[in-house]
A and B are shown apart, each in its own frame.
Chain A
Amino acid sequence: MYRVIILLLFTNLFFMLHSTGDISKYINMKYSFLSYSMIYVLFFLTIAEGIRWYLSDKKKGEVHNDCNCHTECEHEHDEHEHNHQHGKKKISKGKKIRKFLSYTFVVLPALSGVLLPVATLDSKLVDAKGFQFPSLEDSNDQYGMHQVLNPDMSQFMGKDDFLNLVTKEAKSYRGKSHIKLTDEDYLKGLEVMYNFSGDFTGNTITMKGFSYNGPELTGNQLFLLRFGIIHCIADSGAFGMMIQFPNNIHIPNDQWYQVTGTLDTAYYPPFKTRIPVLKVTSYKTISKPTDPYVYRNSFN
């Protein structure tokens, strides 16, 4: 019976995540068909297990002759034995505890996924997860930017294809005196800015993100970041840009801002290279977006 309940709770987990739309806070929606199909598959298994439980309950007292139990763990086997002996043998206490523990473990995500609120990855995780500072040994390679702030898609395609693509992408931004990075083109736009920072120097750019006080920043500098997701948030990383205010500021981490500024470059010691910096002309605090993450949509 426990198994029926657990399967039902799992079905419920996938169903709830999809019906509330919270699923996008866990995985890249590009792969959502996998988890969506799980609603049906798990529901089907719930029914199947329910029928089996119902039938086996009816069979109690009879000789138990179907062969469902032999691959299961010990406790299941015990149950099997137990049935063979017409319910006379008692299950030992240790086995009972083991059975209880293993079911508790399995049911954990089905409960915590529904009961606990979804947390948003924020600056507390930037240090632990993905904001490392690789030193740029090959900094003479102008396209060899670090992958932390810059969603360098050259990893995802050949260098020539990449150059063609970025050049093409850059065209859609060129000539615009004011570039606004939206949720959809956040990663693409950043990629262009990082690869052609020279060409866009002086342009006005508007972007959103949360504040992160990275290492070795001066008093008026800050990082504005967003988490980008490949498959699920276990493989996400933080992407964004350094922003620079005219005067010293004291902004704590994880404040969401929409910042407009002029693009320039600045030397950033931990990267041992110049990186794009947005010189802030105006900014406002915003509430955290409903979908705080940005996604890798495609590789072309």
Chain B
Amino acid sequence: MDRILQLNTIFISIVIEAVPFIVVGALVSALIEVFVTHDTIVRILPKNRFLSVITASLIGVLFPGCECGIVPITAKAVEKGMPLYSAIAFMLTGPIINPIVLFATYIAFGNSWTMMLSRAGLAIGVSILIGIILSFVIKDNQLKVNREYHAHDHSHQNTKQKFISVINHTINEFFNVGKFLVMGSLIASAMQVYVPTKILVTLGHTKLTAALIMMALAFLLSICTEADAFVASSFRNSFSQSSIVAFLVFGAMVDIKNLLMMFGAFKPKFVILLVSLITSLVFVGSLLL
């Protein structure tokens, strides 16, 4: 019973921490729905797929958020006609290269530029590569069928109607994403209570296993990207720098709660492909560091 209550407490704390970001994510996605048209996206993003992916990878600098709120924004952007490969590139770097997370990383590792730059660098590298691979591999729509009801045109609405639409869409997204957040937080808190990190940590002896274990840990703990650097820094004495970078990059791209959200927004096959690409590229990338 004690364990259940502790599980519930950790569960609630993850939910409380994430809800503000989910609401902001839902709001941004609603704003995109109402105010951004297909034309805007086409105008802003370069036609060339390489430039488009690179631009999208860097847009995240402007979005203060974490990995909880990014999936609905990405799905909405795709719905509005942003090329999938660019949207994914944005989704992967957004939670890492925004100012708040970069600052937290900088602080957490003792005002060290090294960790911050390796984290941002690896994230951007991985996301550009994945974006380019996807642009060649994926041709058709990967949004879940039930999501894809095409764009109502909001441009004829007056300000008041637009305002109402924004609020309605925000609530819809909140419920859309909410159930995945709740499921994810529940699993992550069960992991924290029942799986001793000690077991994982003792396995991290070689460079290869260390990177894999840190990635597994990042996935299981599902800590918000704004706090994960502080947790990662506590592993500094037992893990190599490269494996900690793997933790910081992988955890921000894939963790239990946002994996479920991705399954909610995209076709399962695509999510599996994407996660395999992220896993292998982050793994190889961290070994090269």
List 15 other contacts, CB 8 Å, given A26-B12, A235-B230.
Answer: A7-B171, A35-B17, A38-B23, A67-B165, A71-B169, A72-B175, A72-B176, A108-B182, A108-B186, A124-B6, A134-B235, A155-B109, A161-B111, A232-B227, A234-B192
User: Per a CB cutoff under 8 Å, which of B6, B23, B175 touches A106?
Assistant: B175
Q: Chain B residues near A121 (CB, 8 Å)?
A: 6, 9
A interface residues (Cβ-Cβ under 8 A, vs B):
3, 6-7, 10, 13-14, 17, 23, 25-27, 31, 34-35, 37-38, 41-42, 45, 48-49, 52, 67-74, 76-77, 102-103, 105-106, 108-109, 112-113, 116-119, 121-122, 124-125, 127-138, 144, 146-148, 154-159, 161-162, 230-235, 237, 299
User: Per a CB cutoff under 8 Å, which of A17, A35, A232 touches B14?
Assistant: A232
Q: Are B188 and A234 touching (Cβ within 8 A)? A: yes
User: Per a CB cutoff under 8 Å, which of B9, B20, B172, B194 touches A118?
Assistant: B9
B267 → A minimal CB distance (Å): 14
A249 → B minimal CB distance (Å): 24
CA distance A233 to B231 in the complex (A): 12
In the complex, residue of chain B having the shortest beta-carbon distance to the beta carbon of A33: B20
Q: How many interface residues does chain B have, given as a range?
A: 35 or more
Question: Of the 9-residue stretches B35-43, B129-137, B145-153, B279-287, which lies at the interface with chain A?
Answer: B145-153
Q: A106-B179, A119-B8 are in contact. Are A162 and B16 (CB under 8 A)?
A: no
Q: Are A71 and B233 touching (Cβ within 8 A)? A: no
CA distance A31 to B104 in the complex (A): 14
CA distance A112 to B6 in the complex (A): 12
CA distance A38 to B154 in the complex (A): 28
CA distance A94 to B222 in the complex (A): 31
What is the 8 Å Cβ interface bit string for chain B, positions 182-193, against chain A (1 contact, 0 not)? 110110110011
CA distance A135 to B235 in the complex (A): 11
Q: Chain B residues near A68 (CB, 8 Å)?
A: 165, 168-169, 172
In the complex, residue of chain A having the shortest beta-carbon distance to the beta carbon of B150: A70
B interface residues (Cβ-Cβ under 8 A, vs A):
2-3, 5-6, 8-17, 19-20, 23, 33, 76, 79, 107-112, 146-147, 149-150, 152, 154, 165, 167-176, 178-179, 182-183, 185-186, 188-189, 192-198, 201, 221-224, 226-228, 230-231, 233-238
Q: Are A128 and B197 touching (Cβ within 8 A)? A: yes
Q: Are B168 and A116 touching (Cβ within 8 A)? A: no
User: Per a CB cutoff under 8 Å, which of A41, A117, A118 touches B23?
Assistant: A41
Q: Chain B residues near A128 (CB, 8 Å)?
A: 192-197
Q: Are B171 and A48 touching (Cβ within 8 A)? A: yes
CA distance A74 to B144 in the complex (A): 10
CA distance A67 to B164 in the complex (A): 11
CA distance A77 to B145 in the complex (A): 12
Q: Are A155 and B236 touching (Cβ within 8 A)? A: yes
Q: Are B16 and A73 touching (Cβ within 8 A)? A: no
User: Per a CB cutoff under 8 Å, which of A23, A127, A132, A233 touches B238?
Assistant: A132
Q: Are A156 and B12 touching (Cβ within 8 A)? A: no
CA distance A154 to B33 in the complex (A): 45
CA distance A239 to B146 in the complex (A): 49
Q: Are A106 and B20 touching (Cβ within 8 A)? A: no
In the complex, residue of chain B having the shortest beta-carbon distance to the beta carbon of A114: B12
Q: Are A132 and B197 touching (Cβ within 8 A)? A: yes
Q: Are A26 and B9 touching (Cβ within 8 A)? A: yes
Q: Chain B residues near A25 (CB, 8 Å)?
A: 9
Pairs A-B, 9 closest by C-beta atoms: A70-B149, A134-B238, A119-B5, A231-B227, A26-B13, A232-B13, A67-B152, A134-B237, A147-B234
Q: Are A124 and B3 touching (Cβ within 8 A)? A: yes
Q: Are B12 and A74 touching (Cβ within 8 A)? A: no
B27 → A minimal CB distance (Å): 9
A202 → B minimal CB distance (Å): 28
Q: Are A45 and B17 touching (Cβ within 8 A)? A: no
